[in-house]
Structure 1
């Protein structure tokens, strides 16, 4: 299968999606599976992994209901309070939901840089591992030092870095530090990386395909093509690019640099990581 390993659905409301700014009007509407299906068909994508966009268990249940109705959804990355005293009970109830493959928290928005290093948070991640769930690590580049400390404590967990940890692609600031941290994290064989979310970290109006090459060079060199997976970040990507543009950035790079691993990057790695 060809898999888009990172996309979102929502029914828009200003209250629940207050992270969508005034200049991001393209996102201020409903995005549901039928709207994505034509894009997938045009690009030969067989299915997706849908990732939470709201931090509530209601979101998890809603995404699971979508997965039940729409075969294009091959896996769900939901949300759960990892520090909840009832976490294990919740995970036990979800064991029958075969589409649920993992969880995510929007760590990038936490004001405390050490949020992810709290003992209760790490305990929650350990429970996810015990129940065989993967974890999407959503951080920005400045949080990579804490992420390295976290990953030191979780040597067996299936963890994927979302959006190549959101480096400053538009200006290139901090590239050397981002590269150093990513190389260090990639030494951990249990950690994967999503080539996703790049266009929204670039200049939305003036980006060129060449802008992304140094960043993809780092990711592929560090993690290897066996631990990298493509994700569109649709519909958020539409702030800066169309679905075809997003996939072509990665397809052209892979065709030039890692042609023998195309099936892995666009499917097999996601299947293995999420156990689709």
Structure 2
């Protein structure tokens, strides 16, 4: 990925957040028992949090495995300038996927798609499913691919990446490192990150880490994981995201934003501007 020239006025972009309305009925994972999350979250809820952190635009990411939710997010985006792009969902192994992608791509703010790989019963699905025609359509329409994975998906995703070198891919949430497990899960995760970073078409999101940590996390808790992501991908291929409102389960918007800034304090101004905005703008063609 080529990072655009950055200046002191580079706009901050939140590269990963969600909006949803549980009454729509297609969020299989979102239940009334999740009291912190089971309500409508929309642009008005995020606006004051963004403003306090100087974030001007966001990329809103799908949270339901339906085309209907993608159209719901695209409708929100049409009416809200703060939504710079939408990461939607399509059934990539459906024979009609190329036509569906072409239809959705008429919406200028559709910038990527995301199959929810972490929730699929088959960890190897992305390597074995017949998605080639859908991927060709994504490339043809200059759309990217968000990979929502755990370490256990590393082999399958690496196979997929090798098969499609022209597809822009971003690893969501740093591949969800097992932060709660400490050293027990470090080696396999760190090796997977190093492996992914060898693919030049792959970027990674600095997001979702607080959710993977135990309650009471601090800068010190997250530092080694962030340092490895930075060492593997470099500032030119990392992009900061909040994962709000999921973040509310174990943190808050401002706390995570400030933490990430502190942990990148030794980077140059240009590198921080890249991570906090310019990389997302380049990767998602915002």
Deviation for aligned residue 1:104: 0.4
Q: What is residue 267 of structure 1 aligned with on the other side?
A: 277
Q: Identify which of 163, 169, 180 aligns with 2:191.
A: 180
Q: Is this contact kept in 2: 1:12–1:28, CA < 8 A?
A: yes
Deviations 1:67-105 (A, max 9, x none): 011111000001111111111211222232111101001
User: Whole-Å Cα distance in 2 between the matches of residues 275 and 111 of structure 1?
Assistant: 32
Q: Is this contact kept in 1: 2:22–2:30, CA < 8 A?
A: no
Q: Identify which of 101, 104, 110 aligns with 1:91.
A: 101
Other structure's SS at 1:46 match: strand
Q: What is residue 77 of structure 2 aligned with on the other side?
A: 67
What aligned pairs does 1:220-235 form with structure 2 within 5 A after superposition? 220-235=230-245
Deviations 1:22-78 (A, max 9, x none): 663110111011000111111000100000011111111111110011111000001
Consecutive unaligned residues of structure 1, counting only runs of 5 or more, are none
User: Whole-Å Cα distance in 1 between the matches of residues 28 and 64 of structure 2?
Assistant: 10
User: Whole-Å Cα distance in 2 between the matches of residues 214 and 120 of structure 1?
Assistant: 37
Other structure's SS at 1:233 match: coil
Q: CA 1:258/1:176 → structure 2, altered by over 3 Å: closer, same or farther?
A: farther
The TM-score with structure 2 as length reference comes to 0.92
What aligned pairs does 1:145-224 form with structure 2 within 5 A after superposition? 145-172=155-182, 173-203=184-214, 205-224=215-234
The TM-score with structure 1 as length reference comes to 0.95
Q: What is residue 16 of structure 2 aligned with on the other side?
A: 6
Consecutive unaligned residues of structure 2, counting only runs of 5 or more, are 1-10
Q: Identify which of 35, 43, 51 aligns with 2:45.
A: 35
Runs of 4+ more than 4 Å apart? none
User: Whole-Å Cα distance in 1 between the matches of residues 223 and 54 of structure 2?
Assistant: 24
Aligned residues: 275
User: Whole-Å Cα distance in 2 between the matches of residues 175 and 185 of structure 1?
Assistant: 15
User: Whole-Å Cα distance in 2 between the matches of residues 40 and 97 of structure 1?
Assistant: 25
Q: What is residue 56 of structure 2 aligned with on the other side?
A: 46
Which of 1 and 2 has higher RCO (CA within 8 Å, sep 6+)?
2
Q: Is this contact kept in 1: 2:173–2:207, CA < 8 A?
A: yes
User: Whole-Å Cα distance in 1 between the matches of residues 77 and 187 of structure 2?
Assistant: 40
User: Whole-Å Cα distance in 1 between the matches of residues 181 and 62 of structure 2?
Assistant: 29
RMSD, aligned α-carbons? 1.5
Q: Is this contact kept in 2: 1:225–1:258, CA < 8 A?
A: no
Q: Is this contact kept in 2: 1:160–1:193, CA < 8 A?
A: yes
